Structure 1
Amino acid sequence: MMFLLRMAFWLGLVLVLLPREKTPESEKMPQIGAADAVSAASAAVSDMSQFCKRQPAACEVGGQAASMIGQRATDGARKLYQMITDKKPNDHTSSIGDDPSESPEGGTAPHDTLEPGDLDVEWRLSAATTQVPQISVPDSTPAN
């Protein structure tokens, strides 16, 4: 709640300080200087601090309302956190993304369905590599 109030304050301050276009309507508006605005803001803050002394019933009801709103916000955040972190069972019917360890019978199916014989690799030389080329070597013995 305080975050929203702070954000509204700073956003309002930025919007007030943005430069304005000169239009005929803006020339008719009263021109207020920065010093006048600061003194008016400080007077408003000091008046707000005295409000609870003048109207104690309104401050008490406002405090209870703020407390109730804060509690509801906390409960809502807790509920949202539980919804995000709780893991729900798969309720979809497609096979994409299903856990392969779960079988329809309720038991667990093995992760690897290959037999040990399926994993043995049959390795053979190809026909091209089994033929050894015949290389003729010149006779290097001296002729007598």
Structure 2
Amino acid sequence: MFFLLRVAFWLGIVCVLLPSLGSKSDAPETQIDPVQAVTLASAAVSDARGFCDRQPDACVVGGKVAVAIGHKAEAGARTLFEFISSKLSQQPQPAEKAAMKPQPGQGTLTEADMAPAWHAPVPLPPRREARAGRPSA
């Protein structure tokens, strides 16, 4: 849920910051003065700071909601951590994987299919005497 909210927020920011290619308007209503925007933003922040003075009940309830959401997020993170930990502990280690043999009925290969292919015997290297050029006794 929070992931979707974050994605929507960042997509909204990207959409606002992208230049609009199709509509080029020079109307005075569409021009934004950066200094005026900063002044208005700081006024909005100072107004938000005084909200709890004007509406103390809303701040108390909002604080309770924030604490409840925090507890739910902590419980969700703990559950996710336990789930991932249990899945990682169930996975066999590489040495265990090599030692595991397929059980009958777990695949479509037969015993003959799993047997190693035949290889011709490796010829022996020449004897030392032949390599050194000495006759054998």
TM-score by length of 1: 0.51
- Cα shift readout 1:75-113 (whole Å, capped 9, x = no counterpart): 1011111111122388xxxxxx48549xxxxxxxxxxxx
Deviation at 1:69, TM superposition (A): 0.7
The answer as to 2:35 corresponding to 1:35 is yes
Map residues 77-88 of structure 1 onto 2, 5 A cutoff: 77-86=77-86, 87-88=89-90
Q: State the distance in 1 between where 2:16 and 2:67 align.
A: 31
Q: How many residues align?
A: 101
Q: State the distance in 2 between where 1:42 and 1:130 align.
A: 93
> What residue number does 2:47 align with?
47
Q: In structure 2, give the amino acid aligned to 1:129.
A: R
> What residue number does 2:73 align with?
73
- Cα shift readout 1:38-89 (whole Å, capped 9, x = no counterpart): 0010000000000000001111111111111111011101111111112238
Map residues 1-144 of structure 1 onto 2, 5 A cutoff: 8=9, 16-21=16-21, 23-24=23-24, 26-28=25-27, 29-86=29-86, 87-88=89-90, 97=97, 100=100, 129=127
Q: For the pair shown, which has the larger CA radius of gyration, 1 or 2? A: 1
Identity of aligned residues (%): 40
| Cα 1:35–1:15 shift into 2, 3 Å | farther
Secondary structure at the residue paired with 1:31?
coil
| Cα 1:33–1:75 shift into 2, 3 Å | same
Across the aligned residues of Structure 1 and Structure 2, the Cα RMSD in angstroms comes to 3.9
In structure 2, the gaps of 5 or more residues are 102-122
Secondary structure at the residue paired with 2:74?
helix
Secondary structure at the residue paired with 2:47?
helix
In structure 1, the gaps of 5 or more residues are 91-96, 102-124, 136-144
TM-score by length of 2: 0.53
Q: State the distance in 2 between where 1:134 and 1:30 align.
A: 102
Which has a greater percent of helix? Answer: 2
| Cα 1:130–1:63 shift into 2, 3 Å | closer
Deviation at 1:32, TM superposition (A): 1.6
Deviation at 1:30, TM superposition (A): 2.8
